[in-house]
Every structure is written in structure tokens, then in C-alpha cells.
Chains A and B, each alone.
Chain A
Amino acid sequence: MSETARSDPRIHSVAPAGEPAFQSRIADLLDDVTVPAASSAEGAAAPLPPAGEETPLAMNGAAGRGAVQETAEGGMLPGEPLMGAGRRLLTAAEMTSFLPYKPVDPPSEPEAETPKASLPPAGKLPGTEQVINLRGRSDGVVIEVGRQPWPEILSGLTERLNQSASFFYHSSVALDTGTRPITEGELSQVARVLSEHAMTLGLVRTASERTFQAALAIGMAATLEAPDGSTMAEASRAGSNLAPKPGEEAGYFVFRGYLRSGHRLQRTEHILVLGDINPGAEVISDGDVMVWGRLRGVVHAGAQGNRRALVAALDLEPTQLRIADLFVQGADPKPGQPGRFFWRRSQHKRPEIARWIQGQIVVEEWDVSRPGGLTSLHRQAGRS
């Protein structure tokens, strides 16, 4: 299907077309090989056992796409009933034609939409069968991790690599962790096991935000995938603390939902939180932090020293607020008043913006009566 050409020369070079014995050995080592059509026909003498698994998936994918096209065309039929006076509902096919971007399907859509039929849906990782799956893909070898306890995964990986390490000698592999959340420590354990076998962990593919953060924290390249297989975020740069020009040109990372106690969100991009940041949570960005909600945790904007970073929130009551190299504590409770972290919903609270101005963090309320709402913003903009 989409795996027509093998871009990775490693697997190809050890399995030249004329040597079926070699091919069968690779097939033994990998649980699932996505082989181009030509070479699988040649390997018919030494059949690849898992190749059969691949076909029904691919068939489903093709059939599913066909069905989608049919319905889309059905909407475009000339006999389409009109809505009202010359107005009619747009069909999906028409919508896509003038949208500048590819519309994202909701996660409940059937899997058939994704072109990568060989990629299993992230939520349905093989949890029951195998601890470790080694899969040959067009872009190299992928290690898939099951749902078993971590020590089992590690020992399973070590075992598999002991059997077959010479094949992957000095190669870079990807780790697909699915929805399973993995900590920094666990990731570095995998990296260590791989390096013992002279391999490197080139990429962490995950559908879990937690794993993505862990990979970032220890400076690994990682991709965060949505449940439908599309990539939501990418961190190709190893060593995120070496940002070339922090914050300025970076995009936005949007977090929807609550950041609860113990949750740490660290990004090189600006962060936009649609929800509350509870006390005990930390938000760290190389750029700005904007919160459409209450900010009560610890926030650090411009973490790489960008003093032009700002923190804005509808309700700015942080435990601690840091911008670049400065920090301010949240207000201490007055004697006789109820203790800290005693939030009553304040009725007349205005949105506030905190900025670094002449060696101080200045917090300003949004003021409707001022032109533009904030004066310091204009001052800052005029100076720079």
C-alpha cells in the first residue's frame, strides 16, 4: 500500500532480493514486517508468517476509503435538494475543497480514514499477547510496548535483543508506547538497554501527553499522536533546553482541561491553557503563558531567560509566578483572615497580565477604560 518504497537502507541491505534464507531470518526476528509487494512475492518460497496479518487491515483501509468517497460524491449529486432560497447545506466534500487545511476528523471516526493502515490504533495496543513487538516499518524498526508491568517489558526487550541484536547493530530504532504513560526513568532505562546492544533510541512515538513530556524532559526526540494516528506535536530537537531563540517564533501549545496538582507541563512553545491551573501544578514555557481560567499553581514564563514573556490569566492568583529570572510569591494570608489557598469565587475579578518591566514583575489589571486595555504593553512595544 503506502509502503511502496523502503527508505531505510539497513533492513534492505541485509536482505537482498536474491537471498530468501536471509529474508526468513529477518521475518523471524521481527513480529511484523511491512514488506513492499515485489519483495514479498519473491519471498514466497520462504513465506513471511505475519504478512497475512497485514493484508486484511490494508483491505479494510481501502474499502473504508472507498465508502467515504462514495458518500461524499452522493452529497454532490446534481439533484441535491436546496435549502431555503438558494441556500443549501454544504457537504463534506465541498467544505474540504475551500478549507486551507485538512479538516481533522473526530476521534470517533472509523479507522479507515487514516492512510497508514499498518499502524495499529493507539488505543488498541497489543496488551494481552506480547510484551514487546518488533516491527519493521518503512522508516525503520519500531519497538512496540505492551501494557505489562515495566520490569517485564524491560526483561522482554533484553531477551529479544539478545536473540537478534547483531541485526540491528548500530541502528536507530523508534519506540512506540501507545497510550501507556511512561516516566523519564523508564525511558532512560530503555535507552540504556538499547545502548548496551549498540543501538540508539531515535524517536519516541506516543499517544500519551505524559510520555511526551517525559521524552522532552530527558531530551529525546518524540512525536505525540492523536488517537486517529495524526501527529499533534513534534519535538525533533534533542535537548529542548538549547532553544535557539526562545519563545519568539515558537508556536502555541494549547492545553484543554484542568492542570491538577502534580501535573507539570513544560514546553518550548507559548502555552495556552483553556481551563484552570490548580495549586500544585506547574506550567513552564519558554514563551508566554495564557490561561483562560484560574491560575493558582506555579507558572514560569520565558524559562530560557526571555524577559519579554508574559503571563496572562482571567484570574491570576498563582502560588508563585516566575518570568525569566524573576519570581514573585502569591500573597500571604493576612492575620485573622482565612488561610492561603482559600478561594472564594471573586465576583469582580478582572483578567490580569504579569510582565517583566525594568527588573520587576508588574501585574496589571485589564482595564476597559484605557485605550487598548493595558498601558505597559504599549510602552513595551514602543521601546523595542
Chain B
Amino acid sequence: MTGTVITVTSGKGGVGKTTTTANLCATLTRLGQRVIAVDADIGLRNLDLVMGLENRILYDSIDVAEGRCTLQQALVRDPRAEFLYLLPAAQTRDKHEISADQLCTICKQLVNLADYVLIDSPAGIEHGFAAAIAPSDRVLIVTTSDVSALRDADKVIYLLERDWQRQPGLVINRFNPRLVNSGEMRGIDDVLDILAIDLMGVVPEDERLMLSTDRGTPAAFDQRMHVRRAYENIALRVMGHNVPLTDYHRPGLWGWLARWFGK
């Protein structure tokens, strides 16, 4: 049995590719899947920091590609999970130093080990992006609902359809129901109206998510994080389950109570 390679990409930087990758990996492994995370952002590696595995890294993907170590030696195991490994990127090298073919070769070996291989793509649409897309079976596009992120996501979808014949799924990150309800920000429908691709999930904005990435504990490993549910839904949809979309437009229990008492 071979696994699925999923590339997480966005085009624009800072919309939460790495956070989404780390949390999705953690959630998938909590749901009993064997997961390997691959950091394709060579030269600006972050995935190890967000997953809290930086101090365990001995080798990186370029060492594997150039034959200085075996793949098994380079994989870093996450001690908090059953089966979660990270193939780190090289911090001291450059994006041009790993080719699409090398990454494809690595991923071909990885799918024999795991159910899901998640690739964290670098920002931009240049060489590093192409290398990260090449081995993928599926592509997840992460976007926030602001204009520049949407425009870049749209361009990335165009490139994927034109050059790679991929139909990506969409993750809307940092969704702010309050701003949407007040009519000042685009809602989910407005985003889908522009991008017109399958929605894989919506992650609401949560300040504590920023703290959890800062501390290297993915939200999926933290019982107190409510945003965990959002990642769980995305992971279930990735696994092929049909999960209804959480309706963020309702005020929720507390909002409803507040309104009731306020009257």
C-alpha cells in the first residue's frame, strides 16, 4: 500500500502554510494515520520549529538527495505521536539546490513508509514551488481572506491547472467570523466565489494558535485549543470523510446568551 503525497502551498507568504502543515500532520497522526512531513522550504526552514523538533535534526533532505545519509537516518521522529516523522530542510543551502526530480525520488520512497506525506512548500511561484508541486498527488492551497492572498492563490490555482493539471483543495486560514458578520470582510462564499475550487476547511483566527506555533506544540497535541476541531475536520476531509462545514456565521452559544441577557 502506498500513501498520498499532499503539497501545502499558497503563493503568498505568511498566510499559514507551515502552521497548517504542522497541525494537519499532527491531527492526521492522532487519527491513526502514518504521517511524514517534508519541509521543501530550503534555506528558510520553519516546519521543524513549528513542530518543535529542531534540536533533533541530524541530516536534511539535501543530504539524502546527495547521498550523504540514508532516508531513514534523516527522518526525525516526533516523540509525542505514534507515527509522525519530519524530513527537515537544509537551513544553510539554497532553494535551487534540490531539484524536482530529487524530491520526487525521495517522496517515492516515503509513500512506501507512510499513509500521508505532507510537503510544506516555500512561498512564491518559482523553482522551489515547482519542486514542491512535482511529487504531489494532491494540492492544498492555504489562503486568508484578504485581497493579496486571494489574488496570489488565484494565480497559483491558474498555474496548477495550466502546468500541472492539478485540482487543488482550499483551506481558508485566519477566518474572522466577527468581521464577516459585520460585513467588513469577505465571507467563505465570497472567497469561493472568486477561487471556485473545492473547500477543504476553514480555520478560524485564534491568537493562541500563534503562541502554540511559537512554542513548537501543534494545536492538535494541545487539549485546550478549540481550533483543534477545525484541523480535525480538514484532516477527516483529506481522508475522504464527508464532514459538514462548521457554520461560523451563527453567533454561537455565548454570543446568543450575551444577546439574550443583553436585551
Taking beta carbons and an 8 Å cutoff, which residues of A are in contact with B? 181, 208-210, 258, 260-263, 276, 278-281, 338-345
Q: Identify B190's interface contact among A181, A278, A279, A343, CB under 8 A.
A: A343
A345 to B163, CA, bound (A): 30
The 21 sampled A-B contact pairs (Cβ below 8 Å) are: A210-B163, A258-B196, A260-B161, A261-B154, A262-B155, A262-B158, A263-B158, A263-B162, A276-B196, A278-B194, A279-B151, A280-B154, A338-B183, A340-B147, A342-B186, A342-B190, A343-B190, A343-B193, A343-B194, A345-B189, A345-B193
Which A residues touch B150, using CB under 8 A? 341
Residues of B within 8 A of A (CB): 147, 150-152, 154-155, 157-159, 161-163, 183-186, 189-190, 193-194, 196
Main secondary structure of the interface of B (DSSP, over half): helix
Contacts of A341 in B (CB 8 A): 147, 150-151
* Residues of chain B contacted by A181 (CB below 8 angstroms): 162-163
Contacts of A278 in B (CB 8 A): 154, 194
B154 to chain A, nearest CB (A): 4
**Interface contact A344-B190, CB-CB below 8 Å:** yes
List the A side residues contacting B162 at CB < 8 Å.
181, 208-210, 263
| Known pairs A181-B163, A338-B183, A338-B184; A280 contacts B190 (CB<8 A) | no
- Asked whether B196 lies within 8 Å of A280 as measured between CB atoms, the reply is no
**Nearest B residue to A123 by beta-carbon distance?**
B165
A278 to B162, CA, bound (A): 15
Is the beta-carbon distance between A339 and B154 smaller than 8 angstroms?
no
Determine how close the nearest CB of chain B comes to the CB of A269; give it in whole angstroms: 21
Across the two chains, which residue of chain A brings its CB closest to B101? A149
For residue A122, give the distance in angstroms from its CB to the closest CB of chain B.
13
A260 and B161 CA atoms in complex are apart in Å by 10
The answer to whether A261 and B163 touch across the interface, beta carbons within 8 angstroms, is no
Chain B contacts for A340, CB-based, 8 A: 147
Beyond A260-B158, A260-B161, 10 extra complex contacts between A and B, CB < 8 Å = A260-B155, A260-B157, A278-B194, A281-B158, A339-B147, A340-B147, A341-B147, A341-B150, A343-B194, A345-B193
A182 to B140, CA, bound (A): 25
Report the Cα distance A1→B186, complex, angstroms: 60
**Taking the nearest CB of chain B, how far is it from the CB of A298, in angstroms?**
13
